[in-house]
A and B are shown apart, each in its own frame.
Chain A
Amino acid sequence: MQLIDGSRIITEACVRAGADVYVGYPITPSNWFYAYAQKRFPLFLAGPDEISVLQWMAGFSAAGRLPVTATSFPGLALMVESLNMAHMMELPMLIIVTQRLGPSTGSATTGAQGDLLLLRGALSGGYQIPVFCPSNFEDCWNLTYEGIKTAIRYRTPVVLLTSKEMVMTYRSFDLSSLPEVKKVERETPKVELPYQSYRAGADGVPPFVPLGDATHQVRLNASTHGNLGLIQKTSDEAMANTRRLQDKLEQHIPDFTFYELDEEPGADELIVSYGISADAARDALAELRRRGRKGSLLVIKTLLPVPPAVLDILEQYEKQVFVEENLPGLLKELIYGHARRKNIRSVNKIGSMITPSEILM
């Protein structure tokens, strides 16, 4: 065992998975990433603001690098337009978002789970970027790797959604229990000639060739474009390309569906949680069972796009308890919208972590 924090585990996993550039602007509670990245990343750059950070990252990604940053809501807000750009250009990158208490500047040193729907709605038109959410240190390691793998495999920005309590809490942890993380190798693209930056095969993912390639002309574009990467207003080709952005992720969701399900036969109640509230839910479930009652627990780790497998599990339980550190119940809203539903209980709180006993009430 050794004493370690989530920021350190995530930073190390990034570099082992092949991330080579960290571009950062300091913001609490993401500062430990900034500090560790300075030591660990092959290249570290201090951006002058978060818009620059994401633009620089997009440039690095377009040149074939795998960039990472870490931020919190105020920085994420500045990044939103550039996130749309990176999504439209189909540029792999990892953005670590450490949630803190909002709204606005809120309280920088207090954790929260308040940014899920911001990420769901960040792209104009409702397009999605994968959002992975670690619920413990094993997840910090594994989901970082999966995030980078998903970013490269599907040419997309990926968000790792954490919280202050996940990345600034030390725990005794056996690092030798973590699986080996190897560099995510990019496959040599199977290029059909002439190369077109956005012509995709059956899997919906266009082969990636970096800017500066000596053989193929590469054209990347943040505006609505055809296969070649040149602006086309609403031509059939451009609309097909834009629809592909939606289909590309949808058709591969099973490849990046992550969750933990602790099912008890005969249980009719399911506790549903994610991220920093998941550990309280684990303790609550154990206590419930100690008391001789039945219950199951679903910890969702792929929050976006919502995996069909998660919906399948939810459909099997009549009673559900949604546990999340925000007031309106953002995960519940993500799944059920504003529809009135019976038998759903919400455990919500702001300002401090939800306790196991609050879940059991």
Chain B
Amino acid sequence: MTQPILSTNNMPFCPGCGHGVAIKNLAKALEEAGYSPLDVIVVSDIGCAGLVDPILATHTIHGLHGRAPALALGVSLGLSSPGKKVVAIQGDGGATIGLQHLLEAARRNVDITLIVLNNLLYGMTGGQMSGLSTVEFKAGKQITDDTPPFDIVKLVHEAGAAYSSRITSPGDFKAQFLEALRAPGFSLVEVACLCPSHGVKKLKDLSIVALGDLKLAHEREPGRAAFRPTEPLFAQDKPERPSYRSNIKERLGLLIAGSAGGGIQSAARLIANAGILSGLHVTMKGEYPITVGTGFSAAEVILSRDKIHYTGLEHPDVVVAATEDGLVKARSRIHAHTILVLDSKLKEEAFPNAVYGDFQKEAGKQGAALSAAARWLVQEGVLQVEALLEVARKHKHGEAMVEVLEKCKSVEV
């Protein structure tokens, strides 16, 4: 005989409340299933259903209103020893506040048994109607409201629960609790009852005002947490010595701007990496609208002999714009001393000192920005083309970049 789940038979509910019957049945079912009190973790919600902690000899965790199934999900997946049972208990108020949590736990079929003590109203705040109050119940309470209730037994079934059932007849329903406890994964038992403080004065017959008995099941594997070993995101090896030259003396700030999908971010990262191979300190950051596949894309790269603290770029020294989108984005940051590297297609713009090239034509839409930036950097001796090529060759999708960079060899000084 296992130890009793309940530490007392005195229920904490109002006299005549069906919640006490449900809790006693639950305790009997847990004992019959072979659980000792410390095998069981009860997650209790706010409201009348949340009064259960003190009468239980189990582990208890009493959380927020509506969140018991979510809290229970974390507990269930987080437990390190097998053979435990997580039981969540909430009322109809809690079930509707956190309806998403019931559906999510059911969808994942996480090993939790959720008991919904449905007294068809909010008991602790004055007997207001809940999302599980039926039209008949509301009519009996002299409330005209033809909004139908949620059927949570069906809802969690649709979401994937291994087991869900509703009990509307008082008495011994230990057997149904046992079925729920033994179901592989998420199970829900809704126990309907009438609230002696707010519900039963005129309404005596639960069978008229509650949704009918129901039992639904899925054959599914329970959702489990697979903790796995992983590899570090980086090694902390001593860095290799830089092997390329750069002629820069001070900090050089580049703004590379173009259209989304124009390889702007990859080009900027490639240049930053080539800077590191050339013994420089670098920073690189992207700027883009929320949209991913349309609009502008811009990136800032700073190359410096000294350690860089501030990563902002007040006045870029060089602006590379391969498309109209890019030039529009960069325009406000162009000053009298800014060096402009632009695609020939943008020539109608009034920038007499700009350096132009047929970057789009030669390197295509995706390679134009890299082509423009790399040409200028190589031509000015900021980076050697081999430094850029070394990075491109190591890149997963570097073939196209290598092709663009090979063409820059001719401009190297």
Contact = CB atoms under 8 A, between A and B. Distances in A.
Interface of A: 1-4, 8, 11-12, 15-16, 20-21, 23, 28, 36, 39-43, 45, 48-49, 51-52, 55-65, 67, 81-82, 85, 89, 108-109, 136, 165, 168-172, 174-176, 178, 210-223, 229-231, 279-280, 282-283, 352-353, 355-357
Contacts of A169: 283-285, 311
20 contacts: A1-B239, A3-B269, A12-B232, A36-B233, A40-B231, A42-B228, A43-B227, A55-B101, A59-B71, A60-B75, A82-B64, A109-B287, A165-B312, A169-B285, A171-B284, A172-B282, A217-B58, A219-B59, A283-B309, A355-B312
A310 B62 CA distance: 38
Dominant SS among interface residues on chain A = mixed
Given A211-B41, A213-B59, 20 more contacts: A3-B269, A4-B234, A23-B74, A52-B101, A56-B71, A59-B70, A60-B78, A61-B78, A63-B74, A64-B78, A89-B63, A109-B290, A168-B286, A170-B282, A176-B238, A212-B41, A219-B61, A221-B60, A223-B62, A353-B312
Counting chain A CB atoms within 10 Å of each CB, the highest count among B235, B242, B309 belongs to B309
B96 to A, nearest CB: 14
Contact of B283 (A15, A171, A175): A171
B62 A211 contact: no
Nearest to B7: A217
Interface stretch (B164-172, B192-200, B272-280, B350-358): B272-280
A282 B310 contact: yes
A336 B58 CA distance: 49
B214 interface: no
A48 B100 CA distance: 8
Contacts of A283: 309-310
Interface of B: 37-38, 41, 43, 53-54, 57-64, 67, 70-81, 84, 98, 100-101, 104, 225-239, 242, 269, 272-273, 275-276, 280-290, 308-312, 314
A231 B74 CA distance: 22
B78 A55 contact: no
A358 to B, nearest CB: 9
A344 B41 CA distance: 55
A170 B299 CA distance: 11
What 8 A-B pairs are tightest by C-beta distance, nearest first?
Answer: A59-B74, A63-B78, A55-B70, A60-B78, A56-B74, A279-B309, A59-B75, A353-B312
Given A63-B75, A109-B288, A212 B70 contact: no
Contacts of B228: 42-43
A60 B77 contact: yes
B239 A230 contact: no
A86 B35 CA distance: 28
B248 to A, nearest CB: 14
A108 B292 CA distance: 13
A170 B53 contact: no
A117 B147 CA distance: 42
A353 to B, nearest CB: 4
A231 B79 CA distance: 25
A230 B53 contact: yes
Contacts of B290: 28, 108-109
